[in-house]
Amino acid sequence: MNAMTDTPGAQDPVLTRLIDQVQTARAAKGAFEIRGHGSKRFYGEAPRGEVLDTRVLSGISSYEPTELVVTVRAGTPLEELEAALAAEGQYLPFEPPRFQGEGGRGTVGGMVAAGLAGPARATAGAVRDYVLGATILSGKAEVLSFGGQVMKNVAGYDVARMLAGSLGILGLICEVSLKVLPVPVATRTLRFQLDQETALRHLNLWGGQPLPLNASAWWDGTLVLRLSGARAAVDSACARLGGEVVDEESAAAFWLGLRDQRDDFFQFAVTSVAQGERALWRLSVPQTAAPLAELGGHQLVEWGGAQRWVLTDRDPVQVRQAAQRAGGHAVLYAANDKRVGVFAPLSPPLARIHRQLKAAFDPDRVFNPGRLYPDL
C-alpha cells in the first residue's frame, strides 16, 4: 500500500480551497456530503452533512489512446469523458449508468464511488477492474495518490480499487486513472421468447462455450442477448444460437435504456417505489442460481443470471434470506423506508476491517458519514 502525500502548497487553487474546507470541518466536527450532479443520492443510506461539490474538479488531465489509459478529474461529467473516448474509437467497457434525464448525468467520481456497472459487467468486468490509480483528499486533509497511470503499475493498486463502491466514506476522490478499451468491431443483439428457468439454463449453457457473449437481460418472458467482438465470431454465433435478430437502432436504444436504468422495467419500478407499493432490491447470486420465485413481484435478470433485480412487497428479512439461500446477498436499492439497512450486514471480521479503514482515512467522519453503513 504505497501512497504519496502532497503538501497543500503543491496543489492548484481549487484543491487548496477544498483542503481548507476539510480542515475547517474537521476542527468544527462538521461533515460533508460529497456530491457531483446528485444522480445517485438515492443509493445507499441517507446522505448527511454540508454539500461538498465535486464539479469544481473537472476536466481530462491526460489521455493516451495508444496506451488505453485516461486520467480524469472526479467532477467531470461521464458524457464528456465518453465523448472524448468515442472520438478515438474507445469506451468504458463496464458501461456505468449515467442516470440521464431528471436524475442527472453522473460524474466520474460518482461512478467510482458508487461502483455500479451496466449490462456488460459479467463479461467485461467491474468498475474496480479498470481503476489504475487515484488521488484522494482524506478526512485528515491529506492529498494521497495511489497506483499509477499505466496498466503494469501495481503500487497501491488495491487501495485505488478499494475506492470503487466505497460511497465516498474514505475521502473525496479528486482524480482517477482508468483503463479503456477499443469499441468492438461488430455487435449484434438476439431476442428469444423464454420463461425465466429456461432462459437461465440457456445462459449457463452458452456461458460455457466459446461464444462472444457480452450482455444479457431477461424480463417478462423475453431474453435479450448481446454479442460483440470480431465480425466473423459474431456472425458465427448468431447462426449457431438462432433467435430473432434485433435491428441495430432498436438494440442500441434497449441497451442504453437498460444501462442508464430508464427502460420500461426501471420506469415501472420508480413509479411503484414512489407510490410506496414495493421496494426495488438488487441481488447478487451465482449465475447458476434457480429463479427466486418465492419473492414474487417483477424480476429482471442480468449478467448471465448473476444479477437479479426484484421489485417486491416481500418482507426484507425474506428477501435477504432468499439471497443467502441462493449463495448471494441483497441490497435495498430503492425504497421509501430504508430502516432495515441498505447493504447486507457484514460479518464481524469484515465489519472490523471496514471500521479500521474508515479510521485510517477519515477518523473524524468528515466524509459521507453513515452513507455505506450507519456506524462508518
Q: What is the DSSP string of 95-111?
A: ------STT---BHHHH
Do 120 and 95 contact (CB within 8 A), yes or no?
A: yes
pLDDT digits (tens, 9 = 90+) for 354-363: 999 999 999 9
Give residue 327's pLDDT: 97
Do 329 and 289 contact (CB within 8 A), yes or no?
A: no
- Alpha carbon distance 18, 135 (integer Å): 14
CA quadruple 322, 256, 336, 313: dihedral, nearest 10: -40
Give residue 372's pLDDT: 97
- Alpha carbon distance 203, 206 (integer Å): 5
* Confidence bin at 154 (pLDDT 50/70/90): very low
Q: What is the DSSP string of 52-107?
A: EEGGGS-SEEEEEGGGTEEEEETTSBHHHHHHHHHTTTEE-TT------STT---B
Give me the mean pLDDT over the 6-21 stretch.
Answer: 75
CB atoms within 10 A of CB 117: 27
280: left (phi over 0), alpha (psi -120 to 50) or beta: beta
Give residue 11's pLDDT: 60
- The grid coordinates listed for 269 are 419500478
Give residue 356's pLDDT: 94
Closest to 61 in 3D by CA, of 177, 181, 182 = 177
Give me the mean pLDDT over the 201-216 stretch.
Answer: 96
Which has more pLDDT, 138 or 4? 138
Residue 346 burial (10 A CB sphere; 0-12, 13-18, 19+): middle
Please, what is the end-to-end C-alpha distance for the chain in angstroms? 22
Do 276 and 336 contact (CB within 8 A), yes or no?
A: yes
Give residue 149's pLDDT: 59
Give residue 233's pLDDT: 97
Global confidence as pTM: 0.92
> Going from the N-terminus, what domains does the chain have, and what CATH number goes with each?
4-182+353-361 (3.30.465.10), 186-259 (3.30.70), 264-334 (3.30.70)
Amino acid residing at 320: R
- Alpha carbon distance 201, 196 (integer Å): 9
- Alpha carbon distance 40, 36 (integer Å): 9
* Confidence bin at 12 (pLDDT 50/70/90): confident
Do 241 and 206 contact (CB within 8 A), yes or no?
A: yes
Write out the E strands in the chain: 4-6, 32-35, 50-53, 60-64, 69-73, 90-91, 131-137, 143-147, 172-179, 181-182, 186-193, 213-219, 222-229, 244-246, 279-284, 298-302, 307-312, 329-334
6: left (phi over 0), alpha (psi -120 to 50) or beta: beta
Closest to 134 in 3D by CA, of 68, 71, 53, 59 = 71
pLDDT digits (tens, 9 = 90+) for 209-248: 999 999 999 999 999 999 999 999 999 999 999 999 999 9
Closest to 79 in 3D by CA, of 238, 248, 260 = 260
- Alpha carbon distance 189, 254 (integer Å): 10
Give me the mean pLDDT over the 281-300 stretch.
Answer: 97
pLDDT digits (tens, 9 = 90+) for 241-262: 999 999 999 999 999 999 999 9
**Residues ≥6 apart with Cβ < 8 Å to 18:** 52, 56, 57, 137, 172, 174
- Alpha carbon distance 299, 282 (integer Å): 10
Do 191 and 254 contact (CB within 8 A), yes or no?
A: no
